[in-house]
A = this chain, B = another copy of it.
Amino acid sequence: MSIKHAQPKSSFDAAATALAFPLGGIGTGNVSLGARGELRDWEIFNSPAKGSILPNTFFALRVQSPGQPPVARVLEGALQPPFNLSHGYHPSQNGGLPRFASSTFRGQYPFAHVDLDDPSVPVHVSLEAFTPLIPLNPEDSGIPCASLTYTLTNRSSEPVAITLVGSLCNPVGGVRFDPFMNIAHSRKGKTLNQARHESGFRGVYMTADEIAGDDPDFGSMALVTTHPNVTVKPHWLRSGWWDFLQEFWDDLSSDGVLTDLGYDGASPDGRPDTGSVGVIDELAPGESRSYPFWIAWHFPNRHNSWHGPQAVRAGAAPTIRNHYAVRFNDAWDVAAYTVGEWPRLSAETRKFHDAFFDSTLPGYVLDAVSANIVPMRSTTCFWLEDGRFYGWEGCFDTGGCCAGSCTHVWSYAYSLAFLFPSLEREMRRIEFEVETEPDGYMMFRNMKSLGEEFIWVWGAQKPEAAVDGQMGTVLRAYREWQLSGDRAWLERIWPGIKRAMDFASIHWDTDHDFVLDGKQHNTYDIEFYGPNPLSSIYFLAALRATEELARVLDEPALAERCRNAFEAGSRKLDSLLWNGEYFVQRIDDVDAYKYQHGLGCLTDQLLGQLHAHALGLGDLLPADHIRTAIKSVFDYNFRAGFENHTNCQRTYVLNDESGLLLCTWPKGGRPKYPFVYSDEVWTGIEYHVAAELIYNGWLDAGLQLVKTVQDRHDGVRRNRWDEVECGHHYARSMSSWAVLLALSGQHGDLGHGELSFDPVTDASTDPDRFQAFWSNGKAWGTYCQTRGADGSWKPEIAVLGGSLDGVTVSACGSRWTVSADPKGRPA
């Protein structure tokens, strides 16, 4: 079987109702684009809000051919069943307005495209939507805005007059609905809509009166365009029943010029106003033109709490401010910056996109890696004024889920470290500088830095330290050092790293044989007892990382101690846990404690080894055992078809789908109550196993796992841009970046000025060429190697952002140092 050349489902029709492509930047929240081109899930108010709608908020088009009646359409594909609302679609959802017969969605993060066609409409519509994303530039990847550019093509043989209008309900102060879904009074204040004209762009600016500047509901929005010929309706009709929509639609349909109704000031009854901004143009037969719009938002204040407003610690400030509030005064300011910098922001984002997707890697790999950039730009993460960066594990529909940049979950995540490494370094700083106690106990959910108590402290009991989180965080510290070569940062956290390792040796290695055996809390939210592969291989990897860091920081005795411990531990672990096929947990009575895995084949067993491979730390155990074990994980735990699978835990995969179970017991010995989650399937684990399979030469199995995850996220069953585990946009899914590392064999050790590539050319969709994206803390670009006439490979590196000046690149047996040579080839 060769599945590697198969392409993913790259387009989605209107039936893909699970699809929601998040627009928005780092720490800004999102509004998502649905498969029909609709704006959905308004999560810009410092909280997740899956399923939320803004009334009256949509784009619409009026087209008129000479001598013909005008045609008006909402710029969306057809609404999809079920149609089982208790009162039908409310007029504020405009379900009764005509839409386009056909819609096709394509997404390559961060770009989404929607094509709309209808036999009754003489123009073809193509929407491009995105929010700037530039690797190594979190600021410009963290703008609270969404760009929506509609390109119209006149399919007819006559000129057409067009008016393309965006409408936005002013949500400042909080939109509310009565039980009938009528728009009710705002939660706070009264909305103020204002038509504004600035050099270069025009639009509607939206605020509200009577809301204090530090109120979480305080904020502003803007809807703008740079098109020169605009028509603006700052307020829709204030009236009874549903006249607002009738008046707007009649106004648009009649002559394509919007009427300013002349209202002054806030809506007297406190119901939010809607405003519209349109562009007017004429298209010759066959002509295409683009009409850019931006939605900008500015809701600077968020509750200073990991747990919702009720849990704000007494005495702490009730709100904290978003990072973007430092840069922008309000949404108009956001719009002004964005529009002013648009040529650069847009070009750099396209450069990233093209570098990433102009690749010989299979499409589903590109999808898997790029789609999991989303969590860092979703409500899973937030970013504060002073630069502190935090992540939930994931999100409930309407709130963050599982606080504290949880070390064990986030230790699976790679994407952020490779795209915005400064943010990752800040996370390590908090972990080692703030959250690691004098004895090396690390709070695995960081809380202190936000002035919070840990939620899961009962009485005076401190939560268990998490062995995988603590070891993973040491490994991540090493990774951030490799990616950045930032010595000042490393020296700052180094004491914390050493304490954390001390704690592991004392508390988890109770018999001092360098194989952990204590009470080992871990990512399954339970404790393992006795020697087990997850904890101990993780420990071996952390010993290796500490060894390397000790050398960097000139502590050779420590390095030596780590080396010796690693070697002793590796031998002991292999002799103790290897069963000939994989590594098992050694525990006399597997039911003595609940929730062990015992003789089961644990899918996560080689997670520490994956980190070691990705970081260039080599094999932690005999290579043949690693290679056999990872294949056993795949062979035993991958299920094609879940119709007969029995799972009493949570369900992420079912029916005719495929997936990789967290554990199976191919040789028996399943505990009465096996560890929590053992019968589940998590994408974040499937990806790291895929990467480790690929590192070990099991390419087809690795690619199959990646493709399997994409197949499950087909837009009908699940959202391609939202991988769920214990919450939406789950941080663990950012492990997918490791698949890119493994396939391209890219490894940067910028601390030592080294960058190398050793791609799996079998994974290329072109037998004579391999091309993939790379990035690290210094620069990003593409790596390409092509096969010459003599059969030998010729490498080439393109630096598209940042600089690799002075860095030595190794590939295809060559080594060369990058200087000003833009070609990036070996001399």
List CB contacts (< 8 Å) of A75-94 with chain B: 78-79, 81-91, 93-94
Question: Are B82 and A728 interface neighbours, CB within 8 A?
Answer: no
Name the one of B86, B180, B646 contacting A724, with C-beta atoms under 8 angstroms. B86
**Which residues of chain B are within 8 angstroms of A643 by Cβ–Cβ distance?**
78, 98, 101, 120
Q: Which residue of B lies closest to A237 (CB)?
A: B673
Name the one of B72, B96, B595, B719 contacting A84, with C-beta atoms under 8 angstroms. B719
Q: Which of A79, A81, A647, A727 counts the most B-chain CB atoms under 10 A from its CB? A: A647
Question: Are B18 and A84 interface neighbours, CB within 8 A?
Answer: yes
Shortest Cβ gap from A380 to chain B (Å): 11
Question: Are B82 and A718 interface neighbours, CB within 8 A?
Answer: yes
Shortest Cβ gap from A765 to chain B (Å): 30
Q: Which residue of B lies closest to A95 (CB)?
A: B651
Name the one of B17, B395, B650 contacting A88, with C-beta atoms under 8 angstroms. B650
Question: Are A82 and B648 interface neighbours, CB within 8 A?
Answer: no
**Which residues of chain B are within 8 angstroms of A650 by Cβ–Cβ distance?**
87-91, 95-96, 242
Shortest Cβ gap from A88 to chain B (Å): 4
Shortest Cβ gap from A150 to chain B (Å): 21
Question: Are B646 and A96 interface neighbours, CB within 8 A?
Answer: yes
Question: Are B647 and A96 interface neighbours, CB within 8 A?
Answer: yes
Q: How far is the CA of A376 from the CA of B270 in the complex (A)?
A: 39
Q: Which residue of B lies closest to A726 (CB)?
A: B87
**Which residues of chain B are within 8 angstroms of A82 by Cβ–Cβ distance?**
17-18, 716-718
Q: How many residues of A contact B (CB 8 A)?
A: 71
**Which residues of chain B are within 8 angstroms of A728 by Cβ–Cβ distance?**
86
**Interface class of chain A by DSSP:** loop
List CB contacts (< 8 Å) of A681-734 with chain B: 716-719, 722, 724-728
Shortest Cβ gap from A524 to chain B (Å): 10
Question: Are A679 and B18 interface neighbours, CB within 8 A?
Answer: no
Name the one of B83, B243, B250, B676 contacting A717, with C-beta atoms under 8 angstroms. B83
Question: Are B645 and A96 interface neighbours, CB within 8 A?
Answer: yes
Shortest Cβ gap from A710 to chain B (Å): 15
Q: How far is the CA of A676 from the CA of B81 in the complex (A)?
A: 25
**Is residue A249 contacting chain B, with contact meaning CB distance below 8 A?**
yes
List CB contacts (< 8 Å) of A385-402 with chain B: 394-397, 399, 401
Name the one of B87, B88, B242, B646 contacting A676, with C-beta atoms under 8 angstroms. B242
**Is residue A246 contacting chain B, with contact meaning CB distance below 8 A?**
yes
Name the one of B83, B86, B120, B180 contacting A395, with C-beta atoms under 8 angstroms. B86
Q: How far is the CA of A725 from the CA of B98 in the complex (A)?
A: 21
Closest 6 CB pairs of A and B: A96-B647, A95-B651, A89-B651, A18-B82, A96-B651, A245-B648
- Write 20 A-B pairs (CB below 8 A) sorted by A numbering: A50-B86, A72-B646, A82-B717, A84-B718, A84-B719, A84-B724, A86-B727, A88-B650, A90-B650, A91-B648, A95-B651, A95-B654, A97-B646, A120-B643, A120-B644, A180-B401, A241-B595, A242-B676, A246-B648, A250-B672
A93-B651, A96-B651, A242-B649 provided; 19 other pairs, C-beta below 8 A?
A: A18-B82, A72-B646, A79-B655, A81-B717, A81-B718, A83-B652, A86-B396, A87-B650, A87-B724, A91-B648, A91-B649, A91-B650, A95-B650, A97-B647, A97-B648, A98-B644, A179-B399, A242-B676, A245-B648
